[in-house]
């Protein structure tokens, strides 16, 4: 498809939202002649894409309280789990369990391949979490979890039973240590780390910033700095260390120096999250409001 035809195609969808226009690719990150493809629509709000070892993607249709599986090889979707705890962000652990931020009851779940769930976390110091939103798992199995407060109309609990603020948490791989590692965020949301487990990025749309941390001994964080003066919903990272951020403007790509090097417009009201899929991790999978999309990349993802 020519660039001219691509522009016309994206503009035809402009009524869906703000994010339309031409793909920008300053560093040859996207496969030559690749176009954004809509996989499927008719969802309510898609979120939390997590890639399995085989390259399939599991994502949530959050208002409909279900987790959907997209098969890389067949290109089809199917319901993996109903009554999914209103799962939001998700990530696979090294044992093949799907770890899900289940904010129906403010919990963190582990879901095995057969769909059986185990509650890992539901409170901190005797009070319920606000509503876990997203997580990142390091190579050694440690977890970092964002816990903002987005009040849900399906909650019946007393707000006084929740936390005293919106914080970033750490859960050790042995599940024995659950602590706060940053109490100075306004509304932490998207989170991703580098494949070596040494660097963590956390989006704080409340502060309109993305922060960068060094991960040090015992899960603690150091050298916090502002990486970008903008917020994001979900995020992912490629093997070069480029960060992919989301929101009303589709997917934007930034290098290690915080320079914008790419933009993938998505013809929807909101782009919520993104991950790399397929056995080669070269298919960028995008959850965007009522639909999910994909585009082939030259670079590969790391998770």
The whole-number pLDDT of residue 61 equals 97
CATH number of the domain that residue 90 is part of: 2.120.10.30
Asked whether residue 13 carries a pLDDT value surpassing 50, the answer given is: no
8-state DSSP, 31: P
Query: Could you give the count of Cα atoms lying within 13 Å of 28 in the half-sphere of its Cβ?
Result: 1
- Supply the pLDDT for residue 9: 36
Of 162, 150, 157, 155, the closest CA to residue 126 belongs to 162
Q: Which of 94, 46, 93 is nearest to 68 (CA)?
A: 46
- In this structure, is residue 264 part of a structural domain? yes
pLDDT tens for each residue of 190-200: 999 999 999 99
In a domain, 301, yes or no: no
Identify the band that residue 151 occupies on the pLDDT scale cut at 50, 70 and 90. confident
The per-residue pLDDT of the chain, averaged, comes to 92
Average confidence (pLDDT) over 237-241: 97
**65 has pLDDT over 60:** yes
pTM metric for this prediction: 0.92
The total number of structural domains in the chain stands at 1
Residue 161 pLDDT: 76
Q: What is the pLDDT of residue 283?
A: 98
At 157, is the pLDDT very low, low, confident or very high (cuts 50, 70, 90)? confident
pLDDT at 28: 97
Report percent pLDDT > 70 for the chain. 93
> Residue 95 sits in which domain range?
3-296
pLDDT of residue 49: 98
pLDDT per residue as tens digits for the range 84-117: 999 999 999 999 999 999 999 999 999 999 999 9
Classify residue 47 as left (phi > 0), alpha (psi -120 to 50) or beta.
Answer: beta
Average pLDDT, integer, range 26-35 = 96
- pLDDT number for residue 11: 36
Q: How many residues in total does the chain contain?
A: 303
Residue 303 lies in a domain: no
DSSP 215-244: E-GGG-EEEEEEEESS--SSEEEBTT--EE
Query: What is the predicted pLDDT for the residue at 152?
Result: 86
Report if residue 61 sits inside a domain: yes
Inform me whether the pLDDT recorded for 220 exceeds 50: yes
Confidence of residue 162 (pLDDT cuts 50, 70, 90): confident
Residue 302 within any structural domain of the chain = no
Residue 20 has what pLDDT? 59
Query: What pLDDT score was predicted for residue 159?
Result: 67
pLDDT at residue 223 tops 90 = yes
Closest CA to 32 of 64, 55, 6: 6
Q: pLDDT tens digits, residue range 122-136? A: 999 999 999 999 999
Q: Which residues contact 64 (CB under 8 A, 6 or more apart)?
A: 43, 44
């Amino acid at each position: 498809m020519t660039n001219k035809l691509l522009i016309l195609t994206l503009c035809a969808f402009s009524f869906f939202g703000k994010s339309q226009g031409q793909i920008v690719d300053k560093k040859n990150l996207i496969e030559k002649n690749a176009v954004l493809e809509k996989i499927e629509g008719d969802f309510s709000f898609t979120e939390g894409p997590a890639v399995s070892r085989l390259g399939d993607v599991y994502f949530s249709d959050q208002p409909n309280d279900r987790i959907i599986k997209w098969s890389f090889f067949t290109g089809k979707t199917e319901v993996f789990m109903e009554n999914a705890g209103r799962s939001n962000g998700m990530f696979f652990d090294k044992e093949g369990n799907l770890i899900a931020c289940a904010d129906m009851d403010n919990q963190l779940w582990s879901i095995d391949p057969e769909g059986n769930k185990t509650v890992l976390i539901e409170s901190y110091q005797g009070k319920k979490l606000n509503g876990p939103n997203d997580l990142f798992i390091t190579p050694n199995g440690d977890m970092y979890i964002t816990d903002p407060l987005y009040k849900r109309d399906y909650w019946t609990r007393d707000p006084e039973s929740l936390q005293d603020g919106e914080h970033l948490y750490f859960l050790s791989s042995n599940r024995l240590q659950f602590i706060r590692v940053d109490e100075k965020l306004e509304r932490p949301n998207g989170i991703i780390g580098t494949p070596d487990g040494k660097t963590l990025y956390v989006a704080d749309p409340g502060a309109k910033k993305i922060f960068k941390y060094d991960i040090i001994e015992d899960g603690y964080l150091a050298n916090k700095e502002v990486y970008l003066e903008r917020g994001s919903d979900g995020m992912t990272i490629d093997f070069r260390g480029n960060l992919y951020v989301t929101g009303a403007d589709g997917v934007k790509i930034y290098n290690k120096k915080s320079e914008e090097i790419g933009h993938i417009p998505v013809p929807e009201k909101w782009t919520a999250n993104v991950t790399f899929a397929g056995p080669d991790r070269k298919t960028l999978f995008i959850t965007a409001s009522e639909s999910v999309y994909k585009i082939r990349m030259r670079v590969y993802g790391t998770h």
